[in-house]
Structure 1
Amino acid sequence: MRVLLSAAWSVASLVAVVVVVHHNEAWPAHLPAQIKGAAWEQGVDEQLQDAASMPQATPAVIEILTAGDDADPALRVDSNRVISMQRLEEIIAEAAESTGLDIDLIRAVVRTESDFRPSVVSSAGAVGLMQVRPVAAVDTASRMSGHKSEWAKRFAERDIADINHEDLLDPQVNVLLGSHYLAHLRERYSSYGEPMALWLALAAYNWGPGNVYRHITSNPHMNNLNDLRWLLNRRAPYETRAFIHRVLERSNMRLETA
């Protein structure tokens, strides 16, 4: 009887080891250990969504993106990737010049938010390449009252309730709005100095300025980057922490303390 129990226990232990190894191998190797642990706690399926699961392009965005003489006839219009990387790079360069943000930073945000897919619409109503929400579009455009661009005037003169997804799907307008919004957030936190201002701007871009104020900047003990990291790790959702990590890494702004 003891022999049978011992054999059964050995088999159970072996199965447990195989299961653990399987889970460990399922994680992408580039994710740091602390992010792996946080994602495991909150659910892998909810936190690590493959880009292929994003919605396909709608007829409205296909019409927007394929209009004009510069449209690439070779692009697949049944996919979200209906804008050439050359055109996207031109849009990003325009946004960088308009806002003063680094080109690599804007590109990293676009990649992280939408995987370069212009028709992505989140369940929270964030739209397009930089996942711009109507409220952010109106707020950003209103702050640019002196801006001569037609797109800024168009959004500044409208109510949030009147803006629909199609209004924010144009790649050029979307990236300009998102970049100006990010630049405004970075300026808002400029008194903290760099790189804290950038970290806070990215946190607010993803999580919302209200949440950053309530949970992060209102804390009297936040004096340096280590304090900020400590607060983010304990109070910000995994999605926000992962967003900051990926944008910094993809924009070559990864720091020793990141």
Structure 2
Amino acid sequence: MVFVFLICGVVGDYSASADIYRYEDDEGVVHFTDAPTDRRFKIFMRDIKKDRKLRTTFKLARFTRNPAEFEPIINQCALEFGVDKSLVKAVIHAESGYNPNAVSPKGASGLMQLMPKTAKDLKVANTLDPSDNIRGGVRYLRFLLDTFRGDEALAIAAYNAGLSRVAQYNGIPPYQETRTYVDRVLTYRKSYQATN
């Protein structure tokens, strides 16, 4: 296995740290950078100061749309499917940053980043329509919560890594991305609970 490090912006004082991103190419070469130029780069190591700030504050400027705009849809779907609205908001925040037009490199789309097959199974006609997307995402969360007998951490892990991976490892998969995702969603959820 070959490792390639590309650290950008090393000028003057390097006391400021940054997130480090990683991806492994088709030839098994592992690339690291603090300035990703390719969508294949995934977060590998977070800047602790930046992450702590992100976990304790919400900056609406980071959102593509005002989260309050989606409040009625979230409340309606959360009530209909019996899912805590703070959890729904946390998943939306982690998945898309409230960008209803977000599309991932893997094809997940909309506020709750539904994969095409999942959207089809949930009968979501238009994943970029906020109402359809949230309804499908909350319905899927309800299914995962029921599958894991209310264990939110496992349901969130399955939302990120897939149901089969959680079943395969009989718990949260040992993927850093998934573990970070679960921590982030649960932290966001606490923040939303505090503001409700």
Q: Mind listing any 5+ residue stretches in structure 2 that lack a counterpart?
A: 1-9, 24-29, 45-62, 192-196
Matched, 1:26 2:8: no
Q: Specify the alignment match of 2:167 in structure 1.
A: 213
Which residues of 2 match residues 160-175 of structure 1 at below 5 A?
167-175=126-134
**Which of 89, 102, 116 does residue 107 from structure 1 map onto?**
89
- Structure 1 runs (4+) greater than 4 angstroms displaced: none
Residue 184 (structure 1) aligns with = 143
What amino acid sits opposite 2:190 in the alignment? N
Distance 1:200 1:84 in 2: 29
Q: CA deviation at 1:26?
A: 1.3
The letter for the 2-side match of 1:179 is: V
Q: Name the residue aligned to 1:244.
A: 182
Distance in 2 (alpha carbons) for counterparts of 1:92 and 1:139: 21
Q: Alpha carbons of 1:42 and 1:244: their partners in 2 closer, same or farther (altered >3 Å)? A: farther
Query: 2:104 pairs with 122, 133, 151, which one?
Result: 122
The one-letter amino acid of 1:183's match is: R
TM-score, normalised with respect to structure 1:
0.51
CA contact (8 A) 1:47 1:238 kept: no
Looking at CA atoms only, which structure, 1 or 2, has the larger radius of gyration? Answer: 1
Give 2:157's aligned amino acid: A
CA drift at 1:112: 0.3
Query: What amino acid does structure 1 have at the position aligned with 2:156?
Result: L
- Cα distance, 1:84 vs structure 2: 4.3
Cα deviation, residue 101, structure 1: 0.8
Q: Give the drift of 1:94.
A: 1.2
- Answer yes or no: is 1:47 the counterpart of 2:39: no
Question: Structure 2: which amino acid aligns with 1:172?
Answer: S
Determine which structure has the larger helix proportion and give its number.
1
Distance in 2 (alpha carbons) for counterparts of 1:42 and 1:92: 39
CA RMSD of aligned residues (A): 3.1
TM-superposition CA deviations, 1:71-93 (whole Å, max 9, x none): xxxxxxxxx83x54332111111
Q: Partner amino acid for 1:100?
A: G
Distance change >3 Å, CA 95–CA 42, structure 1 → 2: farther
Displacement, 1:47?
Answer: 2.8
SS at match of 1:245: helix
- Indicate the SS of the match to 2:107: coil
Quote the residue 1:204 is aligned against. Answer: 158
**Aligned AA (1:26):** S
Distance 1:42 1:245, change over 3 A: farther
Q: Deviations over 1:49-92 (max 9, x none)?
A: 9xxxxxxxxxxxxxxxxxxxxxxxxxxxxxx83x5433211111
**What is aligned with 1:93?**
75
For 2:97 and 2:108, the matched residues in 1 are separated by 14
Count matched residues. 150
